[in-house]
Amino acid sequence: MVARIQRFAAGSQFKRTVFQMIASELLSHPTLLQREPSRNAATSSMDSSGSGRAIIRPDSAALQPLLQQLSLDGDADQEVDADKLGKALKAMGFRLDPSEVERLLEQVDLDGSGGIDRAAFTASQMDWRALQQNHAEVFLDLAAK
Closest-CA residue to 20 (of 143, 113, 102, 104): 143
Residue 80, H or E segment: strand 79-81
Dump pLDDT digits (tens) for 29-61: 888 887 655 554 444 444 444 344 568 788 788
Beta carbons of 80 and 88 less than 8 angstroms apart: yes
pLDDT at 143 over 60: yes
| Sign (positive or negative) of CA dihedral 89, 97, 107, 129 | negative
Q: Which one is predicted more confidently, 14 or 43? A: 14
Question: What is the distance, to the nearest Å, from the Cα of residue 13 to the centroid of all Cα atoms in its chain?
Answer: 15
Averaged pLDDT score across all residues of the chain: 84
Query: What one-letter code names the amino acid at 64?
Result: Q
Report the CATH number of the 2-32+54-143 domain.
1.10.238.10
3-state secondary structure of 136: helix
